[in-house]
Amino acid sequence: MIFVYEVDGRQRTVTLERRPDGSLMAAVDGQPVAMTAVALPDGGWRLTVDGRRVTAYAAAQGSVRYVNLDGQEYRLAVPEARAARRRAAASGDLTAQMPGQVVKVLVAAGDAVARGQTLVILEAMKMEIRAVSPADGVVKRLLVRPGEVVERGQLLAEIE
């Protein structure tokens, strides 16, 4: 999963990849960062980043993400070009309604789908969220895999 944010006027790219053992491999602007993440009951995350433990909380307001790492506040903005792409997504495309982790992908590219059919199952805040097809059509392209973390508004699948 690739995320692009603006921090203090500078564009930063964060890449997350879940490994088979459940750990995460992250890269910030191409620099690798080994980490693990464990969800906390209060909605936060216990992260171990390069051997250092931190507690993280995040919140979103529009295209701005607020992150707190052990009391240190960060403000991340979704670049305007990216926000514009999201707004321009075709009405038949499937987007995430909230941030979460992909648990299952129930269709493949080329599958015919019906409006309301569950295509992807996400997990967020210990809840299962069913992402359903907004229209009848054919899955042109799937953009997520199980284990990936998605954010609100992210394109999950293209439906023709």
| Same domain for 72 and 130 | no
List Cβ neighbours of 143 (8 Å cut-off, separation of 6 or more).
155, 156, 157, 158
Cα angle 84, 86, 87; round to 5:
65
Q: Are residues 75 and 105 in the same domain?
A: no
Distances (CA, A) of 118 to 67, 72, 106, 114: 31, 39, 7, 9
Q: How confident is the model at residue 121 (pLDDT cuts 50, 70, 90)?
A: very high
User: If pLDDT is split at 50, 70 and 90, which confidence band does 118 have?
Assistant: very high
- Residue 80: pLDDT band by 50, 70, 90 thresholds? low
- Are residues 75 and 51 part of one domain? yes
Whole-model pTM over 0.85:
no
Taking only the tens place, the pLDDT of each residue in 7-53 is 888 888 887 777 777 677 788 888 888 888 888 899 889 998 888 99
CATH number for the domain spanning 49: value is 3.30.700.30
101 shares a domain with 150: yes
Asked whether residue 106 falls in the same domain as residue 131, the answer is: yes
91, pLDDT greater than 80: no
Q: List the structure tokens of 100.
A: 């979460």
Q: How far apart are CA 17 and CA 90, in angstroms?
A: 27
In this prediction, residue 105 carries a pLDDT of: 95
Q: Which domain holds residue 18?
A: 2-81
| In a shared domain, residues 19 and 72 | yes
Last residue of a domain, one of 49, 81, 113: 81
Distance, first Cα to last Cα, the chain: 23
Residues 64 and 122 placed together within one structural domain of the fold: no
* Same domain membership, residue 155 and residue 95: yes
Task: Clarify whether residues 77 and 93 are in a common domain.
Answer: no
> Which tokens belong to 62?
């529009």
DSSP-assigned beta bridge partners for residue 58 = 67
Q: What CATH number did the domain enclosing 106 receive?
A: 2.40.50.100
94 and 75 within one domain: no
Closest CA to 60 of 150, 155, 133, 130: 150
| Statement to judge: residues 105 and 38 lie in one domain | no
Mean confidence (pLDDT) of the chain: 83
